[in-house]
Every structure is written in structure tokens, then in C-alpha cells.
Structure 1
Amino acid sequence: MFLGIDLGTGSCKALLLKSDGTILAEASEAYSVQAPRPGWAESDPLDWWQAVGRAVRAVVNRRAAEIRAIGLSGQMHGVVLADARGTPLYPTILWADGRAVAELEALHKLSPAQRQRLANPPVVGMAAPSLLWLKRHQPKLYQAARWALQPKDWLRLRLTKEAASEPSDASGTLLYDLQADSWAWDVIEALELHPGLLPPLIPSSQIAGTLHQEAARHLGLLEGIPVAAGAADTAAALLGSGLQVGEAQLTVGTGAQITVLLAEPKVDPTLRTHLYRAALPGQWYAMAAMQNAGLALEWVRALLGLSWEQAYQEAQTAPAGCEGLVFLPYLTGERTPHLDPLARGVWAGLGRHHQRSHLMRAALEGVAFSLREGLEALGEVIPPHAPLRMAGGGTAHPFWQQMLADVLERPLIVNPVRSASARGAAMLGALALQIPIQNPSPLPANTLPSGADYRAGYLRFKKLYNRLTDWFKAR
């Protein structure tokens, strides 16, 4: 059997996968995300290490001798500044971090040809601006560092004592040339970053090292187990859920992504959406990335003092459109389509007739409208009216599923695979030993647009953001 470890933003998952594709066991362990200043988002990698140990021990139990390989997946874009042994020198700057706004200027000054080869918009939270921030504000630590690693690559260093990365995570750093499939050395030079901080690149399904004695003891495993390079969480999820070229997936978690798997790279000429390498060779995926999905809904739910079941129940008692109430969910700025780190959350149109139920429903509608903007930004890479597979923990409730289908005007398919990123990680471990794992057959669409008209609310939503952009900048 094969062990998949998914290092998420707020928790890690461990999963045991049998050779026939059956998930035998899975476990999750949470850890905290700190915000020492407004707009910052950090984690302590040593918290990850302890959580991974607990999660792996929970699923392995007495099966340690049966684990043939380990695969990894993890949250994208973060930067772990570490010494040669993997000891963190500074808290990890996460994808949701907004501190490096000033550092984006250096990326905007790159030549048009360089930016097209990066194939992604310059946004805060990605590795390049975060590294520039560290160089400017923590120069001694920057000079002392041996590695600047993506989260799952740091975890692999702790497991194997070998540093490496792979294309799916590297392509999300703004330091990777999508055309050449290598680090963008000319961009790194133009940004005056130290090229030696970046590890060598190997394929996602290649063995990157073996589990060393200390790590094996921590995880309750045997020394010497092969560890695959792994993949970024979204790339691993596409593999683990069995997405085929041309198919699209909607993932709702802390953030949200709409992705479509491609057989050739198609760069968005406007650079509003993203293009990354997939987990398998010869595949890419286009993505609309929205930062504020479950993150914003969890904030509203807690603010209103509701359980999740109460939140959905109360929201259903308010009418569609919330009688003029509109919610912008941009608590941490936004990526697709606005590329605006200064945007913030707003309820607009409040009247005395509005109740708590209106506030909750408006939040759900606001997140759904932001997903509609992301879908539209992807344009022709997604076939018209094609269904979307649903993944992630934030798509489970039928009322929410129906609202998403109505707003997006697309049929939705519930993904039969739980913990798709962890499953994809385990599959990469199997592929490292040249053992293919079969995916479940796709299901027919089970949530169809009902004809509920959200178009007027969607237009109000778009107009509200456009009218507030100057106010966001002047805060």
C-alpha cells in the first residue's frame, strides 16, 4: 500500500491507498495560522512536522511494514526559509499573506516576454514577492538561508534530508519558465534573488529520496521507504480525482479554484488567470484562483454566532437576492479576476428589514458571485455549459450546491473521491514504483441549474466592487 501526505493550510491529511485504488484509512491533524500583523498569514513549519507525525501514526497503526512508497502534496506558493538541515529560520509566509505589495513593483518591471513566460499574474503570497520581502526586511536571515522551499518540499527535506522541487509547485512561484519547463534564471537574476536558494527540479512521480532513520521514528514507519517528489495540492487533487484533459473542477476550501486540465499550455494573454504544470508529464492546468471562499464564509458564520447547519438553515429563509443586500467577500484582497491585494469585505445595501438570515445568505451569494467572475475570466479554455466537478470540504451542503449551480449556470458533479489531494499524493508514490492506480469512474451530473435568476444580483455585485476600488486604495 501507499501513503499520501497532504500538507494543507490549516491541517494535514494522511491517507493509505491500496494498489486497487481503495482508500484504507485516513486521518487529519490541525495546526494554526498566525496573523501577527493585519494582512499577514504565517505558520510554524515545526507545527506541521508534529501534526504530520500524529496523522501518519493514526493511519499506519500496525501496517508500517506494508508501506511501499510515500507521496506528498501541499499548499502552494508559501516560502519556508531554511538552513541546510531544514531548520526553519523564519515563519512560513503563506499564500494568503498580503505583506509583499511593494515588492510586486519589481515583477511589474520585468519585460513583457519574461512575464509571458512566467504565465501568471504577479500577486502577493507567491514565492517571488515573499522572497523579495524577506531579502528587504530580514536580510541577515536571507543571507544565512540555504534553501527557500515550498511547504511540501520542506516536508520532503525533513523526511529524506534531500532538497528538491518539481514542476507543479515550481510553476506557482513566479520564478519558473513555463515554456522552458525550468527555473526562470533570467527572471531570478533580474529580481536580484540568490539562485542557490532554489532546489533542483525533478518530475513529480520520481523518487526524490528515501525515509531516513530519524523521520521514520517520528512517523512510526520503517527506514528506507522511497519518497516521491509529489505535487502541489491542486495538481495532486486533479490526479487523485481522475480528472481528464478538457474536464473542469471547482474546489471550495479556504480559498476556491476553478481548474481545467489541458494537453498543451495556454497562457491567458491578459494574465488574470493562472497556468501551472500538472502532476503528470505533458499536462498543464489553467486556474482561476479566488482567495476568499471558506475563509470568508467561516468568518461570517462565526461573527453571526451560527453553527454551519444553522447557517444553511437560516440562509434558506431569506429570498434570493437578499432584498438588495450585497456582500463582497474580499477579506484578504483578491486574485482572480481583480489582482487586488487592497480589496476588502463589504456588506452594502443594509436596511432595517434585513435580518441575520439575509447577512448569511448574502455572504453565500457573494462567494458564489466571485466564483462566477473566476469562471468567466477563464474564457474559452472551459467548454461552454460543461459540468464542473465539485471537490473540497466547502461544497457538501445541498442548498449551497444548488446555489452554486444556479449562479454558475453549470451542472455540478459531486466528486466521488474524498481527500483528493492526499489520494493523488499516494498515487504519485505508486507511480514512482511504476505501479498505476485506477481512479473511480466519473459520475453523472447530480446538481442542475434550477432556473433561479441570480443575474441581477451578480450585476450589482460587479458594480459594487468597481465603485469601491478607489476607496480601497485610499484606506
Structure 2
Amino acid sequence: MSPSHARFLGIDLGTGSLKVAIIDEAGAERATASAAYAFDTPKPGWAEIPVTRWWDALCAAFARLDVGERAAVRAIGFSGQMHGVVLTDEAGRALRPAMLWPDTRAHALLDAWPQPQPNPVAPGMAGPLLRWTMLHDADTARAAHWALQPKDWLRVALGGAIAADPSDSCATALATPDGAWDHALIERLGLPSHWFAPLATSSGASGKLRADVARTLGLTAGIPLATGAGDTPCAALGSGLAPEGDALLTTGTGGQILVTARAEPPAQHGLHRYRSASGGWYTMAAMQNVGVAFEAARGWLSYDWARAYEEAFDATPSATLAFLPYLSGERSPWLDPSARGGWLGAGLSDTRGTLMRAAFEGVAFALRAGLDAIRDSGTQITALKLAGGGSVDARWRQLLADALDVELDAIDCPNAAARGAALLGGLACGHWCEADLAVLAPTATRVASPREDAALRARYARFVDLYGRVRSWFPATR
């Protein structure tokens, strides 16, 4: 690595916020900023957002970064929420609000996918959403030239090339396991083949920053734009995961548990196997209801976050109260878009605190169900690296360690996905090569070890039993 004072910037386009991180030539974080937003639900089961909201958040986040740090940026990389889709014209201008991964409007269309598929098909993936568009929004379908993943739309908006990368394409339900577009399937579903952008490596350069955008954001015109990757593979890259056998838990709006592999993992019911940002693979359990369930429970109970943590972890857990967090359906391990949740078993003696404690446990149990699916595949997991802004409270970390029965090692990188994106920028401009990444890995610190808790194990068993009993209560989501 050549010495310099260069900076590399990563943009992470998440579901609930946009984060930016600037790292230096040694991979150390120099500056971060974020801007939050909400997506819209104009009809039950829909989840979409106007892309102008993303752009406004980008400008707001950049305005919070130091001017000097911005001026030193020599390349930009991109991380983005996976699944979902942005339909655009030939120039990459959005024709309608972006449709996002929590969206379930296409649930009734999943039977069009032949079985077996290389990965489970969920209604919020690009493939089902695009098929819904063909059937129910013909005007947009006729006008569309490209169907882009969220981070690819943002890169194009900054001046980048029209492109997709394998880590995102393999999660659209329209590609082969290695990420190549499955044109036979695309034709069978009646989708225009020209919608799908050519593939490029995540760390390759896909265009340069436009001059007008550079002036708006306080950056240097013409710097390279890396293709980028999905947020989960970017988080794995930013967290310094080894390419084989390393395990990571990320928590945000949703939650993911992934295990890295050099070769293609075997298919396993309820789990995903996707491409990494650096050419390898990972097996993943994807749980939809982490932060989104916490926010709902906190709002229903009229808590601010500090009081929610305080009263929840001061409360004695109830032996009868349970919280199913499946407010937007669930992927791993149940593959049940119709799943719904809430509190069951409440009594007159329960308080706000016991209700909030049950919510924390319910989310932890949902993560455990996903982890158990990975363990059932034969993978032994006794320790997890921990990343994500929703996993910093020591009490929550201890509950996770106890519920998941793992050692937890926190990554010294609160913005792992944005950091991973910045590393892709450094690779794209040639400042680093793949062999440098191990040296740049952040440190990990043991923050929680599992404790023997028979009562917690019993409440988890009851949680799984309750889900099985109530899943038939709800009609299929439309």
C-alpha cells in the first residue's frame, strides 16, 4: 500500500437511513454521518419510497461531513439494501417510487417460479415485484428501460455506469446462484431482458463522479465510483471476515446471520446462499423483524429508547408472556410472508416493562430460529462477530448471547456496511488490492458469553410452539 493522505468514501443506502463513512489509507474511520427517512405504505403490504427522499438524505449526510475530509476523497463505493427495485428510464431517472424488500404485494405471484430455486423466493425481491409491475402497472412497465437495485440507482445518479454486481443480482430471484442473469427464467416470467444491467465486479470502477454532483457534495469531480455490493456482503467486508468459516450477526431494520465460504454452499431450506463482495460466497439466515419490531413495540408502549431499555431489563421476565415479532412476515427459517405477531399470554400483573422485555426476547428468539437453521445444516457456530447500530447496548448483547448460545465478539466498526463500501472504492481506484484486506480488518472484542438459563430456554421453546400454533390464523398476504 503506498503512503498517501487519500480518503475513501462509502455510502450505505439502508432501509431507514443513509450512512456515509470516510476512511483513510490505513482503513481507519475518519468521519461518519447519517440521515434518516421512512418508507411509505400507501396500501396494506406495500413498502416503497420516492428516490428523492434518498437524494435529500444523501445531501443532508454530506453536509455534516468535514469539508477537508470530503475534499480528500479519491474514490467512492456503494452499499445498499438488498432486494427491492427501482424502475428507470434509459438515463437512470426513476419512473415511480422504489419498491422495497418488506413489500408483500407480489405474494400471490410466487407460484410462477419453478421449483426448486437456488434460493428461497420472497415477495419483496426484485423478480416478484417486477412481475407485479408487468401485471398491474403496464404504463410504467412500457416506459421502463432499466430495473436497478437501490445502490445501483444511486451510483448512476452520481454519474456512474449502468451496472449490477453479483452480490445483488443473485438475490433478485432472477439469477443463477453465481449471480449471472437467468435469461430463460426472465423470459418465462414475461419480463423484458433489456431491463437487466450488465454485471460488473463489486470492486471494479463503474464510472466517475459527475461535476455538478461533485459541487453539490463538496467532492472532487471525476473520482472513480466502485460498482458496490449489497449491504450484507459490504458489512462482511467492512467487518474483516475471513473468507472461510467466519460468522457474523448484523442487526438493523432486519437481521442477518451469515457464514462465509470459498465455494458455493449447499442449498438448505429457509436459508440463502449468495455471492460475497470479494468473489466468494456466504450462507445466510435473513430475519425481517429486528429494528422494525422494536420500533413498533416502543411506539405502542410510548417509550423513548433510554426508558425502554431501562424498564425492560429491570423487569422480571414473565413465564407466560411472549412476543412474536413477525410484523412484516418472515423469511428465515419459516419462509412465511403471511406471519404476523404481537403479545400473547399477557396478564393483569404485566407492566410496560414486562411487555418491552418480551419484545426484546421475541426478537432474540427470532434470530435464534434463524441460527438454528444454519446449525441444522451441519455448521457448528459457537461464536458470532457482531455488527450493526442496533447491537451496542450491553444488556441487549448479553440477552443475545444467552438466547443464541454463542460468544459475541463486537467488531470495532459501528458502520460496517459503509466501511465495506469505502474499501470497495479504494480497491476500484487501485489504492489497495485484495491481499491488503486482511491487514485492514478491524479489531474484535469479546463482549458477552452465554450463561446457563433454563427458564430462557423454556421460553424459547414456547415461542417456537406458539408460532406454529398461530401461523394458521392469518390469511395469505396479498
Fold shared by both chains (TM-score > 0.5): yes
Query: Which among 423, 427, 446 is matched to residue 427 of structure 1?
Result: 423
CA deviation after TM superposition for structure 1 residue 446, in Å: 2.5
1:273 match: 271
The superposition leaves residues 196-240 of structure 1 with CA deviations (integer Å, 9 ceiling, x where unpaired) of: 001000000000001122222222222211101011111111001
1:61 and 2:33 matched: no
d(CA) in 2 for partners of 1:57, 1:417: 22
Structure 1 residues 381, 202: closer, same or farther in 2, change over 3 A? farther
How far did 1:299 drift?
A: 0.8
Structure 2 gap ranges (5+): 1-6
Per the alignment, in what secondary structure is the counterpart of residue 413 of structure 1? strand
Match of 2:451 in 1: 450
Structure 1: runs of 5+ lacking an equivalent: none
Would the aligned equivalents of 2:209 and 2:221 in 1 still touch at CA under 8 Å?
yes
Deviation at 1:441, TM superposition (A): 5.0
| Cross-structure match for 2:301 | 304
Partner residue in 2 for 1:133: 132
Q: In the TM superposition, what are the counterparts of 1:174-185 in structure 2 within 5 Å?
A: 174-179=173-178, 181-185=179-183
Partner of 1:167: 166
CA distance in 1: counterparts of 2:447 and 2:257, whole angstroms? 18
Contact 2:170–2:275 at 8 Å: present in 1 too?
yes
The match for 1:459 among 458, 461, 466 is: 461
Show the 5 A alignment for 1:381-460.
Answer: 383-436=379-432, 438-453=439-454, 454-460=456-462
Q: What is the aligned counterpart of 1:36 among 42, 50, 53?
A: 42
User: Map of 1:140-219 to 2, 5 A cutoff?
Assistant: 140-179=139-178, 181-219=179-217
Is contact 1:387–1:445 with CA below 8 Å preserved after alignment? no
Deviation, 1:61, is 1.1
> How far off is 1:474 after superposition?
7.1
> Which sits farther off after the overlay, 353-362 or 403-412?
353-362
Match of 2:356 among 360, 363, 379: 360
* 1:302, distance to aligned residue in structure 2 (A): 1.4
2: distance between equivalents of 1:153 and 1:474?
32
CA distance in 2, matches of 1:66, 1:382: 47
Distance 1:254 1:376 in 2: 21
Aligned AA (1:150): Q
Cα offset, 1:111, TM superposition: 4.5
Map Cα deviations across residues 52-90 of structure 1 (whole Å, 9 max, x no partner).
123224325134442211111111101101111222111
Paired with 2:379 and 2:22, the residues of 1 have a C-alpha distance of 35
- Aligned residues between the structures: 464
- 1:15 equivalent to 2:21? Answer yes
Superposed CA offset, 1:339-369 (max 9, x none): 1111111211111121111111111111111
Cα distance in 1 for partners of 2:9, 2:25 equals: 11
Q: CA deviation at 1:40?
A: 1.4
For structure 1, which segment, 57-66 or 146-155, has the greater mean C-alpha deviation from structure 2 after superposition?
Answer: 57-66
Q: Does the CA-based 8 Å contact 1:246-1:382 persist in structure 2? A: no
Work out whether residues 85 and 161 of structure 1, in 8 Å CA contact, stay in contact via their aligned partners in 2.
no
- Choose the corresponding residue for 1:6, options 7, 12, 28: 12
User: Structure 1 residues 456, 3: closer, same or farther in 2, change over 3 A?
Assistant: same
Task: Please give the alpha-carbon distance, in whole angstroms, between the structure 2 residues aligned to 1:267 and 1:219.
Answer: 44
> 2:4 — aligned with what?
none
- What is the CA–CA distance in structure 1 between the aligned matches of 2:205 and 2:221, rounded to whole Å? 15
Percent identity at matched positions? 46
The secondary structure found in structure 1 opposite 2:65 is helix
Q: CA 1:403–1:164 in 2, change beyond 3 Å: closer, same or farther?
A: same
Name the SS of the counterpart of 1:332 in structure 2.
coil
1:295 and 2:292 aligned: yes
Q: CA deviation at 1:440?
A: 3.9
Q: Which amino acid aligns with 2:154?
A: L
Instruction: Give the equivalent residue in structure 2 for 1:319.
Output: 316
Contact 1:241–1:439 (Cα < 8 Å) also in 2:
no
Decide whether the 8 Å contact of 2:413 with 2:442 is kept in 1.
no
Question: Helix, strand or coil for the counterpart of 2:253?
Answer: coil
Q: TM-score, normalised by structure 2?
A: 0.94
Write the letter of the residue equivalent to 1:304: L
1:345 matched to 2:325? The reply is: no
Corresponding residue for residue 246 of structure 1 = 245
Q: Distance between the aligned counterparts of 2:66 and 2:49, measured in 1?
A: 26
Give the superposition deviation at 1:35.
Answer: 1.0
* Moved >6 Å (runs of 4+): none
C-alpha offsets along residues 364-402 of structure 1, whole Å, 9 cap, x if unaligned? Answer: 111111111000111366743421111111111111111
Equivalent in the alignment of 2:86: 80
Q: CA 1:101–1:383 in structure 2 vs 1: closer, same or farther (change >3 Å)?
A: closer
Q: Are 2:13 and 2:19, in contact at CA under 8 Å, matched by a contact in 1?
A: yes
- Counterpart Cα distance in 2 of 1:474 and 1:99: 11
Change (3 A) 1:130 1:59: same
